Structure 1
């Protein structure tokens, strides 16, 4: 479904998992740990929304509550998984050979390719909030890979910063898709130019308020746009934080 749309915070899918419930073999933590997920697109038990956006299949806003909460080790094939840590400390272990701890502003791209496993845990008392993207690769059965980087909102403010995809300084992945971030603390208007008419842009407001081509977005609202040669993003004097995903159809 590649039409232009607006998705409000309250319209997203919602799932809530207990570490002692039916998913206890998959959800880590015991006994009070819980995992919640808001989904922009169909994922897991939530199947009444949109099936994705271009090559983006999953956009999950997830919170791990309680020490030990998270996903036990599990396999993936032929998906690129990106995680952007908004709060807390995420411990990430994968079979590429990395044991990693990611804090606020850190993010990774894990390409499972021909086959890889990983687990993701909150080992602290503070909640962990992570945005997860699942992306279809442009080639199947590639060797698995893992890379991480950091977005510094203090030094990279008021500009659109490429994080993942085909751009200088971004984590490279095997797909015609780009993830960028805009953290703003001033009133401004910035134009985002898609690579071609076949590229759509999905804008998600992590925090604050902004408008995209005249559509006002509040916290956790989003919009998907196709066929636009220019997308004008306007922010106010208050802090705003946007995640921008550009994908070929």
Structure 2
């Protein structure tokens, strides 16, 4: 049976965290700088939505506002964190391996597997604001050695087709989980089909810009949809659209199943 839910842009959780006051040890930047975060799933102070979807625990649409804004050095363990830079410049410092300082701009993305323990710091040092999609995943195995990989999605040469960025194909960044992240950027009207590995896999579709009609459901800018039990997702998109697909194994997670049962009216069968 196919099940799905739709999350409109304005239904996401909203947080604004300033660089001064009680959050100053966590959020970097000059006084007045702040992180604006729109959360698709429960995260930080937003606890009014879904606990997650499959292995996804966080899907954040974040903007670092102000020079030097971002997150000071902080620890993670047993989480996989991905960032996809949409605008601006992200300076990312992490301790995986021998450690590194990485600068990412529009189209760049990384996969940071914290595993047995790692730290990182993320800053927007340039005067322009930085906007990125953050994806947090549960790992397939606990306490793996920390690792870091990065790559670039060239919008000019990879448009008008669905391109896998993370997962198990050549050219995609590896991840220790049954998960695939793909992206579609168009500059003309198009008809596309996304086929998950199995119908039992879930696919979370997020429209960054433009729009898309997915299996008959119209999604506008920053709208999203999660679907399970579908053999294929059929998309019709206008020109100038940008769409992310996160395909995940579906876990037998009691918290998520309880939330779905309590909010059954929000599910589309």
Per the normalisation by structure 1, the TM-score is 0.98
Cα deviation for residue 21 of structure 1 reads: 2.3
Work out the CA distance in 1 between the residues paired with 2:34 and 2:193.
40
Question: Does structure 1 conserve the Cα–Cα contact (< 8 Å) formed by 2:3 and 2:229?
Answer: no
Number of residues of Structure 1 aligned to a counterpart in Structure 2 = 247
> Is contact 2:81–2:136 with CA below 8 Å preserved after alignment?
yes
1:9-63 deviation line (CA, Å, top 9, x unaligned)? 0000000011012111100012121111000000011000001110011000000
Question: Aligned to 2:21, what secondary structure does the other structure show?
Answer: coil
**What do the CA deviations read for 1:97-137 (whole angstroms, capped 9, x no partner)?**
11000000000000000000000001011000010000111
* 1:65 corresponding residue in structure 2: 65
Residue 150 of structure 2 corresponds to 148
Structure 2: any 5+ residue segments left out of the alignment?
251-269
Aligned partners of 1:53, 1:208: CA distance in 2, in Å? 24
Backbone CA RMSD of aligned residues: 1.0
Larger relative helix fraction: 2
Give, in whole Å, the separation in 2 of the partners of 1:186 and 1:29.
39
Superposed counterparts of 1:1-249, under 5 Å: 3-96=3-96, 97-236=99-238, 238-249=239-250
Say if 2:92 and 2:120, in contact at 8 Å, map to a contact too. yes
- What is the CA–CA distance in structure 1 between the aligned matches of 2:143 and 2:18, rounded to whole Å? 33
Residues of 1 paired with 2:171 and 2:47: CA distance? 35
Give the superposition deviation at 1:3.
4.9
TM-score, normalized by length of structure 2? 0.90
